Structure 1
Amino acid sequence: MQVSPTSVVQDTPQIQRLRETAIRMEGAFLAEMLRHGGADRPRAELGGGAGEDAFSSMLAREQADHFARAGGIGLAEAIFEALKREV
């Protein structure tokens, strides 16, 4: 099940914050997995340098955030349900 703003007809502001927090947490997890997999390492084709190092890291983070917002691996839904139980 994907976590999306349209999955519930009308979320309260608190539920919307919990949902966004869960998606951000999944994004952080996926970014870390991409980093460990080497996705943030600069490619030699672009010439290298400090700028490329910074760009590669930001690109991996943006890719992870995009994956999480597109449904990710289901981690956000599990986090959201756990957070919702605590409210």
Structure 2
Amino acid sequence: MMQAAQAGAASAANNAKNALSARDMARIDGAANEFEAMFLSEMMKPMFEGLSTEAPFGGGKGEEIFRGMMIQEYGKMLSGTGRIGIADAVRAEMIRMQEQANGQTKEKGGIN
């Protein structure tokens, strides 16, 4: 009985993914991953604000610019591991909202 329920849930998830085009899924995946990377970058910024710069090459506008870029890359790297889980939650919610919007459009007789 439990295997039947799991198979039903897996089938429902596959049907939901099939309802959206591959292009839509790729866009959703990209947006979810970008959101997670940006979120992680913003959460890491305060960690680097208290760091002092070392002479003779430390400091200045250049370091400010490149430190921000470095933090963004750290966010992308952390997001790329797939272990944080924010992108998964965002992706699932975006799929749910897209399906809901598609369902409402069909109910009103509109064209997708």
- The TM-score range, normalised by the shorter chain, is 0.7 to 0.9
What are structure 1's unaligned runs of at least 5 residues? 1-7
Matched, 1:85 2:93: no
Residues in 1 aligned to 2:50 and 2:74: alpha-carbon distance in whole angstroms: 10
Provide the identity percentage: 27
Which structure is larger by alpha-carbon Rg, 1 or 2? 2
**Where in structure 1 do 4 or more consecutive aligned residues deviate above 6 Å?**
none
Q: What TM-score results when the alignment is normalised by the length of structure 1?
A: 0.77
Q: Greater CA deviation, 42-51 or 68-77?
A: 42-51
Identify if the C-alpha distance between structure 1 residues 35 and 18 changes in structure 2 by more than 3 Å, giving closer, same or farther: same
Higher RCO, 1 vs 2 (CA within 8 Å, ≥6 residues apart): 1
What are structure 2's unaligned runs of at least 5 residues? 1-13, 99-112
Q: 1:47 offset after TM fit, Å?
A: 2.1
Matched, 1:17 2:22: no
Q: What TM-score results when the alignment is normalised by the length of structure 2?
A: 0.61
Aligned residues: 79
Q: 1:43 offset after TM fit, Å?
A: 3.2
Q: Which residue of 1 aligns with 2:60?
A: 49
Task: Output the aligned Cα RMSD.
Answer: 2.5
